[in-house]
Structure 1
Amino acid sequence: MGVETTRIFQHTMPKHINATTVFPSETTCPISGPTLRPLALAARLTCAVLLGAALPAQVMAQSTTAEVNATLPTATVVGRSETAQSPGKGFVAKQSSAGTKTDTPIIETPQSISVITQQQLEDQRPRGLSEALNYTTGAFTGLVGAANRYDYVALRGFNDASVNNALLDGLSLQGDQGSYSSFQIDPYFLQRIDVLKGPGSVLFGRASPGGVVSLVSKKPLFQPYHEVEFTVGNRNRVEGAFDISGPVDQNGVMAFRVTGLARGMDSQFQHVREERFAIAPSLAINFTPNTHLLLQAYLQHDPEGSFNSGVPAEGSLFPRNGPNGGRTISRYFFDGDPTVEKFRRTQRMLGYQFEHTFNDAWTARQNFRYIYGDVRMRQIYGYGWADANNLTRYYAGAKEATHAYTVDNQLEGKFTTGPAKHTLLVGLDYQKRHVDGFWESGSADPINAFNPVYGNPGLTGVTATPIDRWLEQTGVYLQDQIAIDRWRFTLGVREDHAKASNLYGTGTPSEWSGSKFTKRAGVVYLFDNGIAPYFSYADGFNPSIRTDQRGNLLQPATAKQFEAGVRYQPKGSSTMLSAAVFNLEQENIANRPSAQVYYVPTGKVRTRGLELEARSQITDNVSLLANYTFTDMKFVESTEGFVGNTPYQAPRHMASVWGDWTFMPGYTAGVGVRYVGTSYGDSANSFKVPPYTLVDLMLRIDLARWDPSLKGARLQLSAKNLFNKAYVASCMNSNYCYWGDARSAMATISYQW
């Protein structure tokens, strides 16, 4: 797609926009090609349906500019540099706000940042956030294997069993630890994804210590842009999507964007489907050259959600030793029952981003979002062997409603004191999340894991328990980015006050309140040749909504990290090489015992690691992404006797490489290889999950190379786990291991004008 997002909130608007747009020369869709009749027919139908939308845009474009020509799909913005909102060039982004909340060159940020650019998202076409991070250094995405109900990601070895590390446009998505109410943003609605490694609490308050995943949504464009696409794939996958944007008026005051998607498919697991309908309208308003407002909404309904359960290690990692020993549970096995299984999620997000520039020095911003979520869930799940063939099963249900608010007020100033140039950021943010409803629990009859029979699950002892959980946080932060000659210093402090309450059942809720001061400091030196070494320290803070065996809320997790690294960005190139070593410690960690709803404080974990990443647009026709991660994670304090052990789901080695090659005009091939090393299956380190290597493939064809009347149309073929390798992605204990993704294949035809 390759369309640059208009810079709405970065002080200046583009003065010269050359939007190039393609339309058929006739009011029909003349598509020919005797060897491509089915494809041509599909393209003709798509063209016919959208012609009515295309023609008004064409008329407007022709009447307002003499620069419209027939060269698409590109939109060229003249005289503007890359920003933190830009899609990047190829696999390389040079700016990010994830590490500073300001538009800062990545090479000047004293903390590790990886950016999944728009081109990478288009090439790899992830179905969810976890899949989008498959080729990201420091990220382990196999926490729940092939399940796609939630976006679980472990950064630098730390996984708090929630999506507490996800942001959308700089504001927390407010994932609830331990409940069923966590939100997903479909990758089709994203411009890019920035991943900040290590604690980000000075900027964002509560966050997982391993890092934050900052999602950047698609924004309105002040030049016309239109895209539709249709996808089919294995597992009965059918998907349609559209992305329409452009100016509302001829004076550059208002622009809109509407992005939508509908998807239905069978999951990897029998009797379970995935369905999604989502739409994201947005409107940008430039009241004056210095005052801008962006109104945003994201509406999503998932009538059916993916399966989310595991199988025992004996039967997946190892053959089951029963009277008919040597058997393995199918990776497509469903341990629930189709008469019971249900996961339905509705989420609505409404918000705005406001910015006013007072003068060349000072800018004020306010970003706000309201989130509503509704979840209905019924699930039967297996947990351990009942006998030689049958799994013990339990029942869980939930009805939850979530209301969440986040507002972030910022004042940014740029000024000079002597030889030092300052970018000062002062902020006040507030967030609150409230979840109420009820949870159900019970038992079900065992199921034969090798010859399952469905239809009569035998539910017994089902009880409903009311829940009421809320978490509130107010934070004040101060950051100063100082430039002195070739030195770049980043200093930050923050004071948070948080309150939490958790009611499970009736009676008195468990409550906690407290304050935490966090700090951050870093330094970068910029050499003339593009080399930039850096060193930094950062604190982390993450209040918990979880309870211990007595019903008391757990103490907040705290973290501290030292990191040293070096980046190399050759001048005038689209290449970024980076290396980082770190020491990260987290205190007040907790684990949940098997088949329990409470958590047990277990002590302190330390992780040390090395991360290497290379991103390069080597030539106009070749792009490369490669990374390697080494993680040495240990318990240094443990109430369970695990000192010196490695926590589960923490692979010691990970590596990946992805390359794009346009081997002839209009034909691009992409191939990727992912390696995940050995991990332990439990914190006692009683067994290991073996390593696995997966291959992904992509082929994209500009259909205009086949027939000029198909200009603007593309066909993309994609396959993940090309060789259909059967593997266990990870285990939490001997009763809960997760089968990894089986092969998926899809074909997407898209049309842009």
Structure 2
Amino acid sequence: MSIGRTFSISIGGMISGIATVACAQGVPPSNKTGDIIVTATRATTATKTDTSIIDTPQSIGVVTAAQIEARGAIGLQEALRYSAGIRTEPNGSDFRFDYVTARGGFNAARYVDGMRTPDSSFTPRTEIYNLERIEVLRGPSSVLYGQGAAGGIVNSITKRPDFNRHGEISVEYGSFDRKHVQGDITGALNAEGTIAARLVAVYRDANNQVDFGKDDRIMVAPSLRFRPDDRTDIVVEGLYQRDRAASIASFLPLAATLQAEPGRELRWGAYLGEPSHDFYNSEQASGTLLVTHRFSDTITYTGAVRYSHSTAHNGDVEPSVWDGFINPFLDADNRLIGRYRYDSRGTTDMVTTDNNLRFDFEIGPFRHKLLLGVDYLRSRIDSATIYTDATPIDIYAPAYSPADVPAANFEDDPRAIDTQLGFYVQDQIDYRDLATVVLGVRRDRAVNDVAGNDRQVDKATSFRAGLVLHPIKGLSPYFSYSESFLPTIGRDFYDKPFVPQRGTQYEIGIKWQPDSATLLAVAAYSIKGTNLLQTDPLNGNNQIQLGTVKSRGIEVEASRTIARNFTVSASYTYTHARTGRSINSLDQELPISGVPAHQASIFGEKSFALHAETWLRVGAGVRYIGPSTEAAIFYDIVADGAVERLTTPGFTLADALVSVEHGRWALSVNATNLFDKHYYATCSVRSACGVGFGRNVIGTLGYRF
């Protein structure tokens, strides 16, 4: 039985059951107020205890489903464009993966419902229509989540069955011949209201801005919820997703983009691969169990387990733009550039589980939320690759032929199995209504087992501490300290295993929430990453762990809803990220690639009553990404090495929304990069530029019931 058929067995019955109960209950009245309330007040990611944002001693951002829809986001990266401290789409228009960096270029790990997702090239982009909200925890977070980089985590919260019956269906058509249908239906399955179901589905047939590119998807996510009483909540979720997308052809030579001579800059959609061999085909299936049980007013158990299986085959012919040559062209006219064929195929299997007990109790004036938890992760990756030279191409007059795809056989990569077992303790202590203290510690054991190599075992202890003061209602200054660890796989030249990379962060900030319609958060932080790999200056065949990265910055996020029909949100980010001084950096502090010093954004929405049942909603946003600089060291001109720097110009983009809602119907048009500004996301020294996203306009007709 195929993965697709596995998920089709009970979906028809679920739809029938929900629809039957819906008819029995009648159709509820639609929302006719035109209200726009999108300010989130609580989050689970930062403490795993559903704590209010202003009581959390660390910077956290929440993007709601309403904000995702209003901003015209079609993927996880797009949904986070207006978030402080986050750099989305650092590689430009790469349609294969979700890649987000935070607080100075550190990778932001991806989680779904609090559990890590496979971090491999065989895991496709998240379908955001299946999300209730996205929570971003900025900074190190190893105490609660184990191994990870110092940037933080992006936790996607999926839609779950609701006992109140409702649903929607919508169709879209947009730029690049985008045809998209999506639906969401949920409700109780029995009269007692103890069992509910939900079905979320997506079908898409679309191209993208790169010639011959595509972005097709089928996604089905059924779920069941069992709530026999007010103490127990059990959710079972399934997911099947199949993608047929393009590969990596959005990277274009630096000499024909940012540094092109007049009249020789390639257009946005230029394609330098082979149409007959350009694909990223993936299939993913997962099952998730979420359990919450309150034994008493004092003790609550929360558990989650997920199994996921994904397969992918990535095939393309790419231009040779990463070789570090000053002139990448092969001819005197600077038209021909070399190419190579790169294929990868593989499977990823992952089991994750997280279980904790929460004890709520009081000792004198102190209220405790004591969390005792254990989590486990096991992932296995089996893969194979092809890498071989291909025929050159004239980048200004490309000619394509299947014969230009060289024949080659896959070579198996070593099988890799990673496991992690962690135990954590956290105590969240409230002193009357004056202060909140968060203290946490975690012990991890991570094992990396690569076929043909010795097993690598890393152990780490991580700490966390935070203090929030409440001098007046709604005002919360705070201070926090947190740590991260990330195993470094491999051994040095002398067969000594590498130790984990470590990250430490100090953060101070203030949050102000005078009412549910207003939130202002300001944070200043300093992060230091250590044990990064560097080339040994005494042995070029060896690597040593003396590398450091230092990042400090300021982040501001604000949102305000006025008169229930006008909302505005804004953010600002300042980042100063540099490597430490070392022999490998010629004793200089070098900038981190793709990290602008300044980012800012603002988005506003307002609704107008046109009739008793008709509302007009308009919205507009502006995003600014400042210049970013990359530095690299080359030894081909100066024997002792020389630093070369390249600055990618900043850019300002505009987005817009127009929507008319009449009763249960809604017709909307979203436009991102409204004025079709031509920009490059990030360019690399002597290499390539990632082409930015052009204008994307999508019209949507939806019906809610």
TM-score (norm 1): 0.84
Q: Which residue of 1 aligns with 2:235?
A: 294
Correspondence 1:450-529 to 2 at 5 A: 450-456=396-402, 458-460=404-406, 462-467=408-413, 468-485=415-432, 486-503=434-451, 508-509=452-453, 511-529=455-473
Q: Which residue of 2 aligns with 1:667?
A: 616
2:389 aligned residue (426, 436, 443): 443
2:329 aligned residue (374, 386, 400): 386
Moved more, 455-464 or 365-374: 455-464
Partner Cα distance (2:17, 2:168) in 1: 11
> 1:173-215: CA deviations, max 9, x gaps?
1213xxx223432111000000000011100001221110010
> 1:334-383: CA deviations, max 9, x gaps?
12101111210001110100121110000112100001010111111112
**Are 1:425 and 2:371 an aligned pair?**
yes
Q: Which residue of 2 aligns with 1:533?
A: 477
Correspondence 1:166-177 to 2 at 5 A: 166-176=110-120
> Using a 3 Å threshold, how does the CA distance of structure 1 residues 170 and 655 change in structure 2: closer, same or farther?
same
> 1:627-654: CA deviations, max 9, x gaps?
0000000111445216311111111100
CA contact (8 A) 1:337 1:457 kept: no
> Using a 3 Å threshold, how does the CA distance of structure 1 residues 299 and 544 change in structure 2: closer, same or farther?
farther
Pairwise CA distance, 1:104: 0.3
> Using a 3 Å threshold, how does the CA distance of structure 1 residues 58 and 497 change in structure 2: closer, same or farther?
closer
Match of 1:610, as an amino acid? Answer: I
Q: Which residue of 2 aligns with 1:82?
A: none
Match of 1:576, as an amino acid? Answer: L
> 1:649-704: CA deviations, max 9, x gaps?
111100000000113440111101000001013444511001100000111111x2
> 1:591-615: CA deviations, max 9, x gaps?
89xxxxx999671100010001101
> Using a 3 Å threshold, how does the CA distance of structure 1 residues 546 and 525 change in structure 2: closer, same or farther?
same
Match of 1:225, as an amino acid? Answer: H
Q: Which residue of 1 aligns with 2:82?
A: 135
Match of 2:425, as an amino acid? Answer: L
Instruction: Report the 3-state secondary structure (helix = DSSP H, G, I; strand = E; otherwise coil) of the residue aligned with 1:516.
Output: strand
Correspondence 1:542-557 to 2 at 5 A: 542-545=486-489, 555-557=499-501
Instruction: Report the 3-state secondary structure (helix = DSSP H, G, I; strand = E; otherwise coil) of the residue aligned with 1:266.
Output: coil
> Using a 3 Å threshold, how does the CA distance of structure 1 residues 603 and 89 change in structure 2: closer, same or farther?
farther
Partner Cα distance (1:121, 1:685) in 2: 39
> Using a 3 Å threshold, how does the CA distance of structure 1 residues 681 and 311 change in structure 2: closer, same or farther?
farther
Correspondence 1:647-726 to 2 at 5 A: 647-665=592-610, 666-683=615-632, 684=643, 686-702=645-661, 704=662, 711-726=663-678
Partner Cα distance (1:249, 1:533) in 2: 47
Q: Which residue of 2 aligns with 1:106?
A: 53
Moved more, 386-395 or 434-443: 386-395
Pairwise CA distance, 1:158: 2.5
Instruction: Report the 3-state secondary structure (helix = DSSP H, G, I; strand = E; otherwise coil) of the residue aligned with 1:235.
Output: helix
Correspondence 1:46-195 to 2 at 5 A: 56-62=20-26, 69-72=28-31, 90-160=37-107, 165-176=109-120, 180-195=121-136
> Using a 3 Å threshold, how does the CA distance of structure 1 residues 328 and 297 change in structure 2: closer, same or farther?
same
RMSD: 2.4
CA contact (8 A) 1:602 1:639 kept: no
Q: Which residue of 2 aligns with 1:83?
A: none
Instruction: Report the 3-state secondary structure (helix = DSSP H, G, I; strand = E; otherwise coil) of the residue aligned with 2:277.
Output: coil
Pairwise CA distance, 1:433: 0.8
> 1:270-317: CA deviations, max 9, x gaps?
011111000110000013331221000111000234545412222111
CA contact (8 A) 1:286 1:292 kept: yes
Partner Cα distance (2:371, 2:427) in 1: 6
Match of 2:424, as an amino acid? Answer: Y
> 1:554-604: CA deviations, max 9, x gaps?
54221000000001111x341100100000011133589xxxxx9996711
**Are 1:645 and 2:586 an aligned pair?**
no
1:349 aligned residue (265, 269, 286): 286
CA contact (8 A) 1:144 1:308 kept: no
Partner Cα distance (2:505, 2:680) in 1: 31
Instruction: Report the 3-state secondary structure (helix = DSSP H, G, I; strand = E; otherwise coil) of the residue aligned with 1:339.
Output: helix
> Using a 3 Å threshold, how does the CA distance of structure 1 residues 427 and 293 change in structure 2: closer, same or farther?
same
Unaligned regions of 5+ residues in structure 1, if any?
A: 1-50, 63-67, 76-87, 593-597, 705-710
Q: Which residue of 2 aligns with 1:360?
A: 297
Partner Cα distance (1:296, 1:69) in 2: 26
Instruction: Report the 3-state secondary structure (helix = DSSP H, G, I; strand = E; otherwise coil) of the residue aligned with 2:266.
Output: coil
Partner Cα distance (1:550, 1:309) in 2: 40
> Using a 3 Å threshold, how does the CA distance of structure 1 residues 510 and 422 change in structure 2: closer, same or farther?
same
Partner Cα distance (1:234, 1:456) in 2: 28
Partner Cα distance (2:19, 2:229) in 1: 30
**Are 1:576 and 2:576 an aligned pair?**
no
CA contact (8 A) 2:256 2:265 kept: yes
CA contact (8 A) 1:222 1:255 kept: yes
> Using a 3 Å threshold, how does the CA distance of structure 1 residues 533 and 502 change in structure 2: closer, same or farther?
same
> Using a 3 Å threshold, how does the CA distance of structure 1 residues 549 and 74 change in structure 2: closer, same or farther?
farther
Give the paired residue count: 659
**Are 1:741 and 2:693 an aligned pair?**
yes
Match of 1:368, as an amino acid? Answer: V
Q: Which residue of 2 aligns with 1:220?
A: 161
1:273 aligned residue (201, 205, 214): 214
Partner Cα distance (1:600, 1:228) in 2: 56
Partner Cα distance (2:126, 2:115) in 1: 13
**Are 1:249 and 2:190 an aligned pair?**
yes
Pairwise CA distance, 1:490: 0.4
Partner Cα distance (1:199, 1:227) in 2: 38
**Are 1:632 and 2:632 an aligned pair?**
no
Q: Which residue of 2 aligns with 1:335?
A: 272
> Using a 3 Å threshold, how does the CA distance of structure 1 residues 171 and 424 change in structure 2: closer, same or farther?
same
Higher RCO, 1 vs 2 (CA within 8 Å, ≥6 residues apart):
2
Instruction: Report the 3-state secondary structure (helix = DSSP H, G, I; strand = E; otherwise coil) of the residue aligned with 2:276.
Output: coil
Correspondence 1:559-574 to 2 at 5 A: 559-570=503-514, 572-574=515-517
Unaligned regions of 5+ residues in structure 2, if any?
A: 1-14, 322-327, 536-541, 633-642
CA contact (8 A) 2:39 2:516 kept: no
Partner Cα distance (1:307, 1:279) in 2: 26
Pairwise CA distance, 1:456: 4.3
Partner Cα distance (1:73, 1:404) in 2: 45
Match of 2:483, as an amino acid? Answer: D
CA contact (8 A) 2:646 2:683 kept: no
CA contact (8 A) 2:646 2:685 kept: no
Match of 2:475, as an amino acid? Answer: I
Instruction: Report the 3-state secondary structure (helix = DSSP H, G, I; strand = E; otherwise coil) of the residue aligned with 2:320.
Output: strand
Partner Cα distance (1:671, 1:350) in 2: 38
> Using a 3 Å threshold, how does the CA distance of structure 1 residues 466 and 213 change in structure 2: closer, same or farther?
same
Partner Cα distance (2:456, 2:72) in 1: 42
Instruction: Report the 3-state secondary structure (helix = DSSP H, G, I; strand = E; otherwise coil) of the residue aligned with 1:199.
Output: coil
Match of 1:579, as an amino acid? Answer: V
Instruction: Report the 3-state secondary structure (helix = DSSP H, G, I; strand = E; otherwise coil) of the residue aligned with 1:733.
Output: coil
CA contact (8 A) 1:271 1:338 kept: yes
Match of 1:259, as an amino acid? Answer: V
> Using a 3 Å threshold, how does the CA distance of structure 1 residues 641 and 476 change in structure 2: closer, same or farther?
same
> Using a 3 Å threshold, how does the CA distance of structure 1 residues 490 and 391 change in structure 2: closer, same or farther?
same
> Using a 3 Å threshold, how does the CA distance of structure 1 residues 652 and 752 change in structure 2: closer, same or farther?
same
